[in-house]
Amino acid sequence: MIIGYARVSTEDQNLDLQLDALKEAGCKKILQDKISGVKEDRDGLLQVLDIVRPGDTLVVWKLDRLGRSLQHLISVIDELKGKDVYFRSIKESLDTSSSTGKLIFHIFGALAEFERDIIRERTMAGLAAARARGRIGGRPKIMDAGKVKLARTLMADNSRCVGEICEILGVSKATLYRYLKD
C-alpha cells in the first residue's frame, strides 16, 4: 500500500498542495499533522509508523515535512527500513525502492554522521580550551570545606537530628551524606 504523510506547521497553513501531490502519487491513505516539525510527538507520524507493513511505501511531498532535522529524518527512514517499508519524497525525487535512491539516502546518512562528529569535536575543543583557562564547568559545589567541617561538628554533637542539620546547612540528606562520605 502507498501511504502518504502531510504536515504543516500551524493551523493557519493549508495542506491542499501536499494532499493533491500525494493523491497524484497514488496514496491510498494519507495521514496528516498540523504541528511544528520541531515537536517530536506528532500523532499523524506516529500513526503512519504504526500502520505501515512490509512492502508498503511512505510518500511525502518534501523531505522537511517528515523530519525535524537530518538526524531525525534518517532515524525515521531507518525505522521504516527496519520494517521493510520503502520511502519516497516527491519534490526531491528520492525513492528508497531503487538502488539510486538507497545510495542518495546513504550519502545523506554519511553527511549527518559527519556533521555530528564535527559538532562533537568542536564541543570537546571548547571544553578543553575552557579547562586550560581554569574554568571547570558543571554544577557548582553546594558545600565548601567550611560547610563540610560544620556538618561534621553538628553530626558529632548528637543534640540535633539529621533533618535539622540539613535545614541549617540548606542541603538534602543525600547531599549531606555524600559530602560526609568524601
Pairing relationship of beta strands 94-95 and 86-89 according to DSSP bridges: antiparallel
Which residues are bridge partners to 16 per DSSP?
none
For the chain, the straight-line distance linking the first and the last C-alpha, in angstroms and rounded, comes to 63
| Active-site choice (9, 36, 97, 159) | 9
Pairing relationship of beta strands 57-60 and 86-89 according to DSSP bridges: parallel
Rounded to 5 degrees, φ, ψ at 109 are -60, -45
The answer to whether residue 9 is catalytic is yes
Q: Which residues are catalytic?
A: 9
